[in-house]
Structure 1
Amino acid sequence: MKNIRIKLTGSPTLKEASIHQDFHSITLSTQTIQLENLICDPPVHGTVYGTLLNYKGELEALGDQVHNAPYQKPPVAPVLYIKPVNTLSGMHHSIPLPADATHLSVGAALAVVFNETASNVTEQKALDYVLGYTIANDVSIPHDMYFRPAIKQKARDGFCPIGPYIILKEHVKDPDHLTVRVFVNGELKQENTTANLIRSVSKLISDVSSFMTFYKGDVLLIGVPENKPLVQNGDVVRIELEGIGYLENVVQLEEVKG
């Protein structure tokens, strides 16, 4: 059993619970709940920061583009963006497919949740400021923009399912060596590992905190692997993160409001 924090639908606060070793059920007080039957709210409440180009393969896939105007060279600092609160949703919530899009891309990301204020921290001390880890699906409409905000493509309602819980950091011995898998309708579509990060989790926290402060409850997505799977209406998306569990959502056409 591993200690977690979870936010049940309608609950104003996080609840302490335990996840079973098979990651298929949780124990909350004396009640055991199967994850396949669990609908819960996002277990985070702070600002969610995303990171671009932090997987080696993602940067390599750009090829010579990074040497062209206006940038002239690969990024020398973390490339960040924000997933605003309207994007957040929880386990088994639907992912809306906008009327002006035919497909969405799946962004499987390890999410770091902060437990206290972190400003200008060293790489060696970076994890001291972390509460734990969860899973995020950094959904976007496929696009070719880098180094600038793709707000219309990345900040739509429901474009950041996250959860289903926060697993406390002591249960994840090495966040830099976790297998990441994406399944669509039960078929494996992507597999990678956080060992392929350009900046390790600690290095990324240190580098970002050198110019901005993380506060308790803030979240840092450490990056998304290259070759993001594409999904369409009706697809069931499942992201698995080794040692943490899984996050599952279904894509549904966005409701048109009068």
Structure 2
Amino acid sequence: MLRSRVVLPEGQVLQTVFASAAEPAGSLRWLPPVEGTVVGTLLNYRGELDALGDTLSAPPYQAPPKAPILYLKPANTHIGHGHDVAMPADVDGVWVGACLGVVIGCTATRVPAPHAADVIAGYMIVNDLTVPHASYYRPAIRHKCRDGFCPMGPWIVDCDDVPDADALDITVRINGEIKQRANTSTLVRPIAQLLADVTAFMTLEAGDVLLVGMPENPPLARAGDRIDIEIAHIGTLTTALVCPAQEGSR
């Protein structure tokens, strides 16, 4: 089952269920499928962690992480499928963060890994847009929390309709050209273990989203580019980057 939210031209929200992957025609505008907190995870793809090599054993880090490294994508970043993102004037390009989003279906506190499926409502695609930077030492608020830097959707796919969320192909296209391929099988912490580790110290509520991580070597996109992120069994999330003067929703 595919679940999403659209808004009519007058601003009235319509909660609906789509039976196919076709976009609604006309003037309907996609909203983020959820309204909860979006929690991101750093260094959760093996290739991303391996690429840093001995860097994580040197100052200021001192040692590789032993627990998930988390950050938030606040409400100002949240937009839906098909919306434009105005590039900040001080930013030349952004990393495309092709993330699988795990949508929480009920209050999740200290969830054992074997019971993770009990609290997962479904999955969606999230584009964790990020200003390129080198350091993981301080929270990257200026790099990850610009307006519109968390496109999500197009919908939520129920857990039962995703055969194995820990083995999903991810493809990123910029202007129609494939720029990245990844698979969730290379996660350092598979979804159930990541959810267990996070809920061991913080409660997630229904409608919250846990991002499993950004694959290594994220492609760079600039104003004028169209980004399509496809995740197997879920769909395709589309975002266009525009100059500030061109900002608007399609």
Alignment partners' CA distance in 2, 1:186 and 1:86: 28
- Aligned with 2:113: secondary structure? coil
1:143 maps to a residue whose letter is H
Q: Structure 1 residues 149 and 96, CA, compared in 2 at 3 Å: closer, same or farther?
A: same
- Using the size of structure 1 for normalisation, the TM-score is 0.90
Deviations 1:69-102 (A, max 9, x none): 1221110000000000000111110122110011
Alignment partners' CA distance in 2, 1:63 and 1:135: 29
- Report the alpha carbon displacement of residue 178 of structure 1 after superposing the two structures with TM: 0.1
Match of 1:194 among 180, 184, 200: 184
- Aligned with 2:196: secondary structure? helix
1:178–1:194 CA contact under 8 A, matched in 2: yes
1:6 maps to a residue whose letter is S
Alignment partners' CA distance in 1, 2:239 and 2:27: 12
2:146 matches 1:148: no
Match of 2:158 among 136, 144, 168: 168
Point out the more displaced range, 65-74 or 155-164. 65-74
Match of 2:52 among 62, 65, 78: 62
2:60–2:137 CA contact under 8 A, matched in 1: no
Q: Which residue does 2:33 correspond to in 1?
A: 43
Runs of 4+ in 1 over 4 A off after TM superposition: none
Identical amino acids, percent of aligned pairs: 45
1:54–1:223 CA contact under 8 A, matched in 2: yes
Please, which runs of 5 or more residues in structure 1 have no aligned partner?
27-32
Q: Which residue does 1:6 correspond to in 2?
A: 4
Match of 1:107 among 97, 107, 112: 97
Alignment partners' CA distance in 2, 1:133 and 1:12: 22
- Report the alpha carbon displacement of residue 147 of structure 1 after superposing the two structures with TM: 3.8
Q: Which residue does 1:123 correspond to in 2?
A: 113
Please, which runs of 5 or more residues in structure 2 have no aligned partner?
none
Point out the more displaced range, 187-196 or 146-155. 146-155
Deviations 1:141-183 (A, max 9, x none): 1111214211011000000000011111110121000000100
- Using the size of structure 2 for normalisation, the TM-score is 0.93
Q: Structure 1 residues 145 and 130, CA, compared in 2 at 3 Å: closer, same or farther?
A: same
Alignment partners' CA distance in 2, 1:98 and 1:106: 15
Point out the more displaced range, 204-213 or 61-70. 61-70
Alignment partners' CA distance in 1, 2:243 and 2:109: 41
- Report the alpha carbon displacement of residue 4 of structure 1 after superposing the two structures with TM: 1.3
Alignment partners' CA distance in 1, 2:165 and 2:60: 34
Q: Which residue does 1:85 correspond to in 2?
A: 75
What is the Cα-based RMSD across aligned positions, in Å? 1.8
Q: Which residue does 1:206 correspond to in 2?
A: 196
Alignment partners' CA distance in 2, 1:164 and 1:228: 21
2:192 maps to a residue whose letter is S
Q: Which residue does 2:16 correspond to in 1?
A: 15
2:86–2:246 CA contact under 8 A, matched in 1: no
1:180–1:240 CA contact under 8 A, matched in 2: yes
Alignment partners' CA distance in 2, 1:50 and 1:205: 12
Alignment of 1:127-138 (within 5 A): 127-138=117-128
1:5 maps to a residue whose letter is R
Deviations 1:87-137 (A, max 9, x none): 011111012211001111100000011110000011010111011100000
2:43 maps to a residue whose letter is L
